[in-house]
Homo-oligomer: A and B are copies of this chain.
Amino acid sequence: MSNLIKEKINQAIQILQEEDIDCWLTLVRESGIVHDPMLDFLIEADVTWLSAFIITRTGESIALVGQMDRATIEELGVYSSVLSYVQGIKKLLLSTLQRLNPRQIAVNFSEESEICDGLTHGLYLKLVDYLKEINLEKKIISAQKVISRLRARKTPTEMDRIKRAIVQTEEIFSLVTDFIKPGRTEREIADFMIAEVHRRGLGFAWERSHCPAVFTGPETAEAHYRPTDRRVEPGHILNMDFGVEVDGYVSDLQRTFYIRRPGEEAAPPEVSRGFQAIVTAIELARRKLKPGIQGVEVDRVAREYLVSQGYEEFPHALGHQVGRFAHDGTALLGPAWEKYAGKPFEVIEPQMVFTLEPRLKIEKRGIVTIEEMVVVTPDGAEFLSTPQKELILI
């Protein structure tokens, strides 16, 4: 695991050079209580006392930690310098920053990107107080650019973990297909999959209460809701949102099933038509996705296509990045809505991993939604998942 941390710290140095930023500072304390998501790229454990991890444009990596956290950090073998204290960090932090005398100190806050916003407001105030003593408080800038690139630019180790998470997810989708039958509840289907996750020693990609999320029929909560005692019924659509975690990296996929009525060979025309529209929307989006464009353009292709086919606009973004979290990164394939702020306007870069997940409703049947995962290549985007091209018929 510390190989990955070494890879990411080297990437961070590279990104600081690209962005011409002298110094990136991650400041945390009791990280088991409030956990800056960047910490997982910097160390393998939580820290108890106020701790600073400093990466510089010139290639230094410095950890300032409480004495009782020192052994754990040193043994990573990654930091060029590990310094520790008993009573308080201030002296160490100020002397280190005075020596570096950086033009900028990038810290982890952002109004628009939650993944770049791990610094708490109280710690920010404390940092400003400290820096005032050495007249560096004006050097503070947002680390959003550093963090966004660092999370987006997947290393080979990261890609390997994501691919393994996808394979596991697809295998569990296959297994559960035989388990889905009229009369079974959403809860029973979810429990079957959860048992399989445990059996395989995997983690869950998001909160366990709705991983997997299972929705059957037309009356569901639609998304972000736990499986219920609602039963699978013939004539209904069932869809699932599911992902697993492998070595800290996750997958996030959705699949759609149709439960045939007695005598039915295929799904009714309105269900097949809706499914086909989703498949087409995903393919149009994937072909649009490439380095240099903005996510809003990719979202628009899928959104406008579905509206042109007479469906309601889906009430969320077309796709998000995936990494350590199911919702990772800053750049988003989304519409220009208030809640997405500048994310849909970030420029797409190679090595970003995205989901593509349009949805639509079919009256009296349920929700059709497929979620695939793709990686941005130097000139396009490739599927990482095996795309669902046919309704799974039960």
- Which A residues fall within an 8 A CB radius of B? 29-30, 32-37, 44-46, 48-50, 66-69, 71-72, 85-90, 109-126, 129, 142, 206-207, 209-210, 221-226, 315-316, 325-327, 337-339
Q: In the complex, A207 Cα to B33 Cα: how many Å? A: 11
Asked whether, in the complex, the Cβ of A45 is within 8 Å of the Cβ of B209, the reply is yes
Residues of B within 8 Å of A36, CB to CB, are 34
Residues of B within 8 Å of A45, CB to CB, are 207, 209-210
Look across to chain B and name the residue whose beta carbon is closest to the beta carbon of A125.
B111
The one of B116, B119, B124, B315 in contact with A68, judged by C-beta atoms closer than 8 angstroms, is B315
Asked whether, in the complex, the Cβ of B116 is within 8 Å of the Cβ of A325, the reply is no
Asked whether, in the complex, the Cβ of B71 is within 8 Å of the Cβ of A29, the reply is no
Residues of B within 8 Å of A111, CB to CB, are 122-123, 125-126, 129
Asked whether, in the complex, the Cβ of A118 is within 8 Å of the Cβ of B34, the reply is yes
Q: In the complex, A222 Cα to B87 Cα: how many Å? A: 17
Look across to chain B and name the residue whose beta carbon is closest to the beta carbon of A142.
B122
Q: In the complex, A315 Cα to B66 Cα: how many Å? A: 10
CB distance from A33 to the nearest CB of B (A): 5
Copies of this chain, how many? Answer: 2
CB distance from A98 to the nearest CB of B (A): 18
Q: A337 and B33 in contact (CB under 8 A), knowing A121-B119, A223-B68, A225-B72?
A: no
CB distance from A19 to the nearest CB of B (A): 18
- In the complex, the 7 A-B pairs of residues with the closest C-beta atoms, listed nearest first: A88-B338, A117-B122, A109-B121, A121-B124, A71-B221, A87-B337, A68-B224
Q: In the complex, A386 Cα to B29 Cα: how many Å? A: 31
Q: A33-B327, A34-B36, A50-B339 are known; give 20 further A-B pairs, CB within 8 A.
A: A32-B206, A32-B207, A32-B327, A34-B37, A34-B118, A46-B206, A48-B224, A49-B339, A68-B224, A72-B225, A86-B337, A109-B122, A109-B125, A111-B129, A113-B122, A114-B120, A114-B122, A117-B122, A119-B121, A124-B124
Residues of B within 8 Å of A225, CB to CB, are 68, 71-72
Asked whether, in the complex, the Cβ of B32 is within 8 Å of the Cβ of A67, the reply is no
The one of B34, B48, B325 in contact with A32, judged by C-beta atoms closer than 8 angstroms, is B325
Most buried by B among A206, A224, A226, A325: A224
Residues of B within 8 Å of A337, CB to CB, are 86-88
Asked whether, in the complex, the Cβ of B122 is within 8 Å of the Cβ of A120, the reply is no
Q: A68 and B222 in contact (CB under 8 A), knowing A122-B111, A337-B88, A339-B49?
A: yes
Look across to chain B and name the residue whose beta carbon is closest to the beta carbon of A122.
B117
Q: In the complex, A196 Cα to B48 Cα: how many Å? A: 26
CB distance from A200 to the nearest CB of B (A): 16
CB distance from A254 to the nearest CB of B (A): 14
Q: In the complex, A224 Cα to B84 Cα: how many Å? A: 14
CB distance from A238 to the nearest CB of B (A): 18
Q: In the complex, A86 Cα to B86 Cα: how many Å? A: 48
Pick 10 A–B contacts, CB within 8 A, sort by A.
Answer: A30-B114, A32-B206, A34-B117, A46-B206, A69-B224, A85-B339, A109-B120, A109-B121, A111-B126, A114-B122
Asked whether, in the complex, the Cβ of A87 is within 8 Å of the Cβ of B34, the reply is no
Asked whether, in the complex, the Cβ of A117 is within 8 Å of the Cβ of B120, the reply is yes
Most buried by B among A30, A90, A315: A30
Residues of B within 8 Å of A46, CB to CB, are 206-207
Residues of B within 8 Å of A44, CB to CB, are 209
Asked whether, in the complex, the Cβ of A316 is within 8 Å of the Cβ of B206, the reply is no
Most buried by B among A111, A209, A210: A111
Q: In the complex, A347 Cα to B48 Cα: how many Å? A: 23
CB distance from A112 to the nearest CB of B (A): 8
Look across to chain B and name the residue whose beta carbon is closest to the beta carbon of A89.
B339
Q: In the complex, A86 Cα to B112 Cα: how many Å? A: 17
Residues of B within 8 Å of A221, CB to CB, are 71-72
Asked whether, in the complex, the Cβ of B29 is within 8 Å of the Cβ of A33, the reply is no
